[in-house]
A and B are shown apart, each in its own frame.
Chain A
Amino acid sequence: KAGVTQTPRYLIKTRGQQVTLSCSPISGHRSVSWYQQTPGQGLQFLFEYFSETQRNKGNFPGRFSGRQFSNSRSEMNVSTLELGDSALYLCASSLGLFNEQFFGPGTRLTVL
């Protein structure tokens, strides 16, 4: 069974631009969560989606948004990029709300 896939793997943007990251969960998984990982703050929760509904949101500004499609694939968007948004963005999927999460390889975003 294929794992969680994330595209693109690497991305370079400049301040003020916007970016969309994509996540395809493991087949059959209905829950997708997003995390931001930085050296200073570690892994921080961004969003959790289940059946196209956002269940939880982390303490991030409104520039960070996401959505989930009917096939469980998910996207997250960051608008008006700032230097501090440079991070590894990780997507994780699980069968349901009370199942273990499996992470993708992440998207490395660099903001110049």
Chain B
Amino acid sequence: TQLLEQSPQFLSIQEGENLTVYCNSSSVFSSLQWYRQEPGEGPVLLVTVVTGGEVKKLKRLTFQFGDARKDSSLHITAAQPGDTGLYLCAGPLTDSWGKLQFGAGTQVVVTP
């Protein structure tokens, strides 16, 4: 059972456009993390959101955690080719953060 549903599965946009990736669950998570992964490499942590309703900004990336802590979104403003990658959301399944449930990922391609 996939507890974290990501949408869309694939996104192809032109440089300069905006995009939003969604991560939804029927379960409440104590926190959600967003990672970006490039081919042949491990995921790189972008952000962790902990509080319901929290909004975090990382340069052109804006992350939001839903009020009920069941969903999250990642918005990229003025996307650049360097934003290309697989974006993954993940949340802890147990009391520790060492056992993460991952979404299937959203493949983002930004063309010049």
Q: Contact residues of A with B, CB < 8 Å?
A: 4, 31, 33, 35, 42-45, 48, 50, 55-56, 58, 88, 90, 92, 94, 97-106, 108
Q: Is the CB of B45 within 8 A of A100?
A: yes
A27 to B9 CA separation, bound complex (whole angstroms)? 36
Which residues from chain B contact A108 at a C-beta distance below 8 Å?
A: 40
Which residues from chain B contact A33 at a C-beta distance below 8 Å?
A: 98-100
Q: Is the CB of A105 within 8 A of B42?
A: yes
Q: How many residues of chain B have a CB within 8 Å of chain A?
A: 24
A-B contact pairs, 9 of them (CB 8 A): A31-B96, A42-B103, A42-B104, A42-B105, A45-B93, A48-B96, A48-B99, A88-B40, A98-B97
Q: Is the CB of B42 within 8 A of A106?
A: yes
Q: Is the CB of A90 within 8 A of B33?
A: no
Asked, given contacts A100-B45, A101-B45, A104-B42, whether A56 binds B98 with beta carbons under 8 Å apart, the answer is yes
> Chain A: interface secondary structure?
strand
Q: Is the CB of A106 within 8 A of B98?
A: no
> Distance in Å from the Cβ of B95 to the closest Cβ of chain A?
8
> Distance in Å from the Cβ of B102 to the closest Cβ of chain A?
4
A62 to B48 CA separation, bound complex (whole angstroms)? 33
Quick one: which of A4, A50, A97 has the most chain B CB within 10 A? A97
Q: Is B94 an interface residue (CB 8 A)?
A: yes
Closest residue of chain A to B4 (Cβ to Cβ) is A42
Which residues from chain B contact A92 at a C-beta distance below 8 Å?
A: 42, 98
Q: Is the CB of B42 within 8 A of A4?
A: yes
Q: Is B25 an interface residue (CB 8 A)?
A: no
> Distance in Å from the Cβ of A74 to the closest Cβ of chain B?
12
Write out, one digit per residue, whether chain B residues 22-47 have a CB within 8 A of any chain A CB (1) or not (0).
00000000000101000011111100
